[in-house]
Structure formats: structure tokens, C-alpha cells
Copies of this chain bind each other. A is one copy, B any other.
Amino acid sequence: MVDVTGKPEVLREAVARGLIRLKSETLELIRTESVEKGDVSGVARVAGVLAAKNTSGLIPLCHPLPLTNAKVDLRVVEGVGVECVVTVRTRAQTGVEMEALVGVAVALLTVWDMVKQYEKDERGQYPSTVVEDVRVVSKVKGK
């Protein structure tokens, strides 16, 4: 771990995003709330928040940073897939971009898990499902 003991605590904010490509039929089921396993965005949102809070337990050299906010948004992008945007904030000695990225990754994989049955082909494979473009949109340090 990088030693941040001597650094001052300042406001930290990070926004990350990513996308899961899904079949149009699957997107239609999400939009009409007809997915058998339940509310896709709702479950993914909770998974993303919990994962973001647990980042230092997942990414070995991350400092434990008690978040003061974590927001996970998901929306269907017509004909493409589901986009996830995660915003996290806290006052800390180091940045929170990993927390935002972990939230995005786990939320998108939760979407995958919720719609597995519709994305598999007849041989049980996922020819078109893919998580992509997971990136940091912005990072703010200090006021």
C-alpha cells in the first residue's frame, strides 16, 4: 500500500461508468419489467453500492475509505445494452476512483446474472453478452 498517513483529508469524488451489451429481446424484458429473476436495475443498484463500500476488501492495496455517498444509476440504452454510472464521495487522504469502478463492475455483472437465461444460446454459451467501456468519467480532489 502507498503510505498516505501524512496526507490531509480533502473532499474526494469519482464518477465511473460502463456498459453491458445485451440482446434487444433482453432489453425489452428489462424495460417492461418482465425479467423472471426480478427487478434488474434494483438488484444491480444494491449490489453496486455494497461492492463499492467493500472495495478495500476486494482490491488488495486499496486503503479502507468510509464512503459518505455512493450512487449507482442504470439505464437501458436502446438497441445496445444497459449503462451503469456510479458516483462516490467522501473526505479522504486518497482518491475514490477504485470504489466507483468496483461499483460499476459488480453492478454490470449483477445485470448479467439477472438475465442469464435470455442471453444464453441453445448450447449454453453467451455469444453476444459483453461488459465494456468501464472507465473513470471524472475525478475531483478538494473543493
Contact = CB atoms under 8 A, between A and B. Distances in A.
Given A54-B57, A136-B129, A98 B109 contact: yes
Given A1-B70, A68-B93, A131 B18 contact: yes
B89 A3 contact: yes
A22 interface: no
Given A39-B42, A66-B66, A131-B135, A61 B49 contact: yes
A31 interface: no
Given A68-B3, A109-B102, A139 B114 contact: no
The A contact surface, by secondary structure, is: mixed
A5 interface: yes
Interface string A16-40: 0010000000000000000001110
B46 A60 contact: yes
Contact count band on A: 35 or more
Interface of A: 1-5, 7, 11, 18, 37-39, 42-43, 45-47, 49-51, 53-54, 56-71, 89-91, 93, 95, 97-98, 101-102, 105-106, 109-110, 112-114, 116, 124-126, 129-136, 138-139, 141
